[in-house]
Structure 1
Amino acid sequence: MMNNLFESMNIALSMSQYDKLEKYYSFLIDENEKYNLTAITERKDVFIKHFLDSMLIKNSGVEVAHKTIIDIGIGAGFPSIPIKILEPSIKVTGLDSLNKRITFLNQLVQVLELDHCAFIHGRAEDFGQDSQYREGYDIAVSRAVAELRLLLELVMPFVKINGYFIAYKSIKTKTELDDAQNAFQCMKSELVEVQKVILPDGYGERDLLIIQKRGKIEKKYPRKPGVPKKNPL
Structure 2
Amino acid sequence: MATTTASKEITEDRIYHISGHALLAMNAGFPIELLSVNGFSVADLSRISPRVQRLDEWTMIRMPELQYPPGTFPHTRLMENLCHLALAGPILELFHRGRPCTVSAIKEHEHDWRQAWTAAGFLHHDETERVAYLDRQIALGERYISLPSWQEYIGPVTRHLSTNGTMEGSDVQAIWDRIKDEHEARSRRPVCRQRIEFEIDDDVALQEQLEWEAMCDEEPDME
Structures share fold, TM-score greater than 0.5: no
By relative contact order (CA 8 Å, sep 6+), the higher-ranking structure is 2
TM-score normalised by L of structure 1:
0.32
Q: Larger radius of gyration, structure 1 or 2? A: 2
Greater share of residues in helix: 2
Greater share of residues in strand: 1
